Amino acid sequence: MKPSVSLIGAGAAGSALLLALHRLGYPITAVSSRSERSAMRCAALVGSPYATSDNASASRRGEIVIIATPDGVIGAVCRTLVEQQGIREGQLVLHLSGALGAAELKAAAMAGADTCALHPIQTLVKPQQGADLLRAAWFCLEGAPPGVERARELAMAISGHAFSLDAEQKPLYHAALCVSSNYLVVLENIAVEMLQRAGLERGVALQALLPLIRGAAENLAQAGLPEALTGPISRGDVRTVERHLESLAQGSGEHARLYHQLGRAALRLAREKGQLSASAEEVLKRMLLP
């Protein structure tokens, strides 16, 4: 029989993970949240018999305890659970932060629980949609071996994809995810601003870009790196890049600087791809100097 699960913090990420586990047959024995209404909503979603705002009362009911609170209070919540006898020897205590390590759960480890930072590499906004997305997500695990191995079983059950990192690598790992996801949104906002300068309405500009974004993501999935790189720098089209720079020079300096910086990164990737002539590379390198 699968181990029982308690959730502390019924936000989007915790609720999505809990629903994914519920669908796999893990018994959800308790849900706790600052708002009892939120706890009840999540509990109804996963068939849990117990919803509360008393964290320790919820954590006592699970063999696995998932702390899905905001990063800034994970350590304090864990310490309070221990102080209120909500953690016992043999439990598995997890948190879902991408930036923080299992050290946040030190109090639980001192109380005899196995601990692990279990981070799903996915944007989780709504529980049902999030649970669906988790079926293909990778999970990052960090902590002492017993907790990591137990957490790996959960990750493999959900999606079949997991890897572990050392604690000192977590900040760099999380920065990479921010670049990949959060800054992608920022980058597309800048592209929309440029299209607005060209005369498109903001909403139209975004809708026009979305198929291109999806196509680039599909190219990455199918071809990998560096083969997925396309565009004028990839093929050494000096004249097109020159026109881009001339146009950008008439507008926002921020946009021009970003184009230069990303262009230099694209040049390195194009070199790795191996389809760029040495002469074109040299010209582009000079054009894209800071």
Q: Which domains does the chain have, with CATH numbers?
A: 5-165 (3.40.50.720), 171-287 (1.10.1040.20)
Q: Once rounded to an integer, what is the mean pLDDT over residues 264-278?
A: 95
Q: Is beta strand 28-32 parallel, antiparallel or unpaired with respect to 92-95?
A: unpaired
Distance in Å from the first CA to the final CA of the chain: 61
Sign of the C-alpha dihedral, residues 251, 253, 259, 263? positive
- Read off the pLDDT band of 251 (50, 70, 90): confident
Q: Decide if pLDDT at 252 tops 90.
A: no
Residue 274 Rama label (left phi>0; alpha psi -120 to 50; beta): left
Do residues 63 and 87 make contact, with C-beta atoms less than 8 angstroms apart? no
Tell me the per-residue pLDDT of 66-118, one tens digit each, with 9 for 90 and over: 999 999 999 999 999 999 999 999 999 999 999 999 999 999 999 999 999 99
- Read off the pLDDT band of 290 (50, 70, 90): confident
Q: Once rounded to an integer, what is the mean pLDDT over residues 183-192?
A: 98
**In 3-state terms, what secondary structure has residue 115?**
strand
Closest CA to 46 of 30, 65, 64, 22: 22
Question: Distance between CA 182 and CA 80 in Å, rounded?
Answer: 32
Question: Distance between CA 27 and CA 6 in Å, rounded?
Answer: 9
Neighbours of 160 (CB within 10 A): 11
Tell me the per-residue pLDDT of 42-68, one tens digit each, with 9 for 90 and over: 999 999 999 999 999 999 999 999 999
Neighbours of 64 (CB within 10 A): 24
The whole model's pTM is what?
0.90
Cα dist from 269 to 63, 199, 217, 276, whole Å: 47, 31, 16, 10
Give the count of alpha carbons within 13 A of 187, CB side only. 14
The pLDDT value recorded for residue 71 is 97
Q: Once rounded to an integer, what is the mean pLDDT over residues 2-20?
A: 98
Tell me the per-residue pLDDT of 197-235, one tens digit each, with 9 for 90 and over: 999 999 999 999 999 999 999 999 999 999 999 999 999
Q: Decide if pLDDT at 267 tops 90.
A: yes
The pLDDT value recorded for residue 64 is 99
